[in-house]
Amino acid sequence: MSDLKILGIASGKGGVGKTTISTNLAVALAQAGHQVMLFDGDLGMANAQLALGIQADYNFSHVINGEKTLKEIIVRGPAGVYVVPGASGIGHMANLSTAELQGVIQSFSEFDQPLDYLIVDVAAGISPAVTTFLKACHQTLVVVRDEPSSIADAYGIIKVLATEHNYRHIGLIPNGVPDQRSGQLLFQRLNAVCVKFLGLDLEYTYSVESDETVLEAARKYQPVMTYSPGSMASRDFRKLAKELDLIPVPEHDAGGLQFFVERMLKTEAEAKNG
Ligand SMILES: Nc1ncnc2c1ncn2[C@@H]1O[C@H](COP(=O)(O)OP(=O)(O)OP(=O)(O)O)[C@@H](O)[C@H]1O
Ligand SMILES: [Mg+2]
């Protein structure tokens, strides 16, 4: 079995397509035969569940307060994706007691199903909760649209990750572009700025084209991958999944689900201690 690969889906500006990409990428990877978990890290929004048309009685806050185990809050989505419903409590992990932290770690290590992918849909921007999640990910994928404010804010989050957090495993997913060529050009423009000012080469993945079917699917509370598998967007998500599968997990970073939560808690502890 391959190692778990942990991907964070981020953006500078809100509303650019993080949840659309997280959910559809999760389904695309699952349909390609991978075991996939989707973690809704967008505080209190319950976005990912809505986008997948599933309803959850419990969320991650119940794991933090010890009422439930991770296994008990997980719901299965389309193509068997394991969905961890988000919680507003997660931003305050640094304030948890040692016993609570141990409980969270324990809960993650008890999840004994084999997993190939963990996809984390984080909130927009670069709050401490966002950096905590992203630093625990092997690769962060910044979703960007071809609009000045989206590009500026994407550069902003990349700069903070690279310079303040020394985190450099960053890729781009251009979204809502008219064609692949436009997506590649958008990547080249932003990457040139990152190379020049941050000494950082971004990973190009694949672009998701603008497709009305995505909106239709969203209105039906379905991922476009199941709503319309033959759509242009679904084709892009399948290609994106393939490209991401080619990015190797850094060897020193390998490890299961419990390493994700341990890395997350380590980041929080560092922040707490100055
Ligand atoms: N490729 C696309 N083609 C057409 N519409 C899209 C595409 N990607 C996203 N959308 C639409 O754009 C809107 C915003 O997408 P989404 O909710 O995924 O963004 P987000 O980054 O998760 O937002 P937030 O920051 O609020 O969490 C939704 O209505 C979604 O259906
Ligand atoms: Mg979202």
| 83-94 tens-digit pLDDT | 998 875 555 555
Determine if ligand 1 sits within 6 Å of the CB of residue 215: yes
CA 251 to ligand 2 center in whole angstroms: 30
Average the pLDDT over each of 72-76, 152-156, 159-163, 269-273 and give the range with the smallest value.
269-273
Q: Which ligand 1 atom is nearest residue 208's CA? A: 1
Residue, of 99 and 222, whose pLDDT is higher:
222
Give the pLDDT of residue 44: 54
Give the mean pLDDT of 132-161.
95
Q: Name the residue at shortest CA distance from atom 19 of ligand 1.
A: 17
Give the pLDDT of residue 66: 85
Determine if ligand 1 sits within 6 Å of the CB of residue 210: yes
Q: Residue 253: how many CA atoms within 13 Å on its side-chain side?
A: 17
CA 158 to ligand 2 center in whole angstroms: 18
Q: What Rg do the C-alpha atoms of the chain give, in angstroms? A: 17
Q: Yes or no: say if 164 and 128 are a contact pair by the CB < 8 Å rule.
A: no
Longest dimension (CA), the chain: 51
Q: Which ligand 1 atom is nearest residue 45's CA? A: 27
Determine if ligand 1 sits within 6 Å of the CB of residue 20: yes
- Across the chain, mean pLDDT equals 89
End-to-end CA distance of the chain: 39
Q: Yes or no: say if 110 and 245 are a contact pair by the CB < 8 Å rule.
A: no
| Beta strands 117-122 and 170-177, pairing class | unpaired
Tell me the sheet residues that pair with 203.
171
Query: Which domains does the chain carry?
Result: 5-54+75-90+116-256 (3.40.50.300)
